[in-house]
Amino acid sequence: MKICLFDIDGTLVNTAGAGKDAMIDSFQSTAGIDVQTTGVRVSGKTDRGIATELFGDAGKQLTEDVWEKFLSSYMAGLARNLPLRQGRVLPGIVELLDQLAEREDIALGLLTGNVAQGAYLKLTHYDLMHHFAFGGYGDLHPDRNDVAQAAKDACESHLGQAVAGDQIWVIGDTANDVRCARHIGAKALAVATGVFDRDVLAQSEPDLLMDDLADAAEFLDALAQ
Ligand SMILES: [Mg+2]
């Protein structure tokens, strides 16, 4: 059994800013934090981590109560934005997921910084959610390494068996995806379909580095090893 844990943004889909803009609006409306002027890098980070960082920068405390308010505003904005943006599923993803889903020796899960509801909204919008029965999400953990562990735990619960790190491939578009793969002893495929190009991703030393998954043969070969 092999397990593929997919990142969402920049790996499966590009929402054309639907998520980031909803998040920026919610920082403003629920906490008065103006992210437009300070800027924020969201790639490879978890939603909880981004919120913790921005609240800290603004000298505010992210209590559970404030987090809940922020989240409900963010999810409403995300649901509103998704159909209004010209987002897209990234090259080859539909074909790859269809192909992997047919195989009984492969399990598909998510390893994303998105909160679970955000992941659900995005992947339902792009008609990919049905492929993923389990995952690790960015609700609780500021650090992606902890999300990777949560995804591995969720995978073991789903399969009803222990899984070794080297049975797992983490597929993502940032150095943080590669780093969190190492944390659970997994292999890493980095794809240059997000904001980082090949040269930047190469520095994180993934097991495999691809421009995109339009032709996934190289990955399928590596998966079979
Ligand atoms: Mg990503």
Give tens-digit pLDDT for 60-113.
989 999 999 999 999 999 999 999 999 999 999 999 999 999 999 999 999 999
Say how many Å lie between the CA of residue 14 and the centre of ligand 1: 9
Q: Please write the tens of the pLDDT for every residue from 110-120.
A: 999 999 999 99
pLDDT tens per residue across span 3-13: 999 999 999 99
Q: How far is the CA of 76 from the centre of ligand 1 (A)?
A: 21
Q: What is the rounded distance in angstroms from the CA atom of residue 142 to the CA atom of residue 46?
A: 6
Cα 160 to middle of ligand 1, angstroms = 28
Tens digit of each residue's pLDDT (9 = 90 or more) over 156-166: 999 999 999 99
Reported as a pLDDT band with limits 50, 70 and 90, residue 219 is very high
The rounded distance, in Å, linking the Cα atoms of 157 and 170 is: 18
User: What confidence tier does 57 reach under pLDDT thresholds 50, 70, 90?
Assistant: confident
For residue 62, report the distance from its CA to the centre of ligand 1, in Å.
24
Instruction: Report pTM.
Output: 0.96
Kindly tell me the sign of the dihedral angle through the C-alpha atoms of 128, 129, 134, 137. Answer: positive
Average pLDDT, the chain: 95
* DSSP string for residues in 95-155: HHHHHHHT-TTEEEEEE-SS-HHHHHHHHHHTT-GGG-SEEE-SSS-SSHHHHHHHHHHHH
Compute the distance between CA of residue 19 and CA of residue 141 in angstroms, rounded to an integer. 18
DSSP state at residue 4: E
CA 7 to ligand 1 centroid distance, Å: 5
Q: Tokens in use for 1?
A: 């059994």
- Between the CA of 42 and the centroid of ligand 1 the distance, in Å, is 9
Architecture of domain 2-15+88-224: 3-Layer(aba) Sandwich (3.40)
pLDDT in the model for residue 39:
67
Residue 147 banded pLDDT, cuts 50, 70, 90? very high
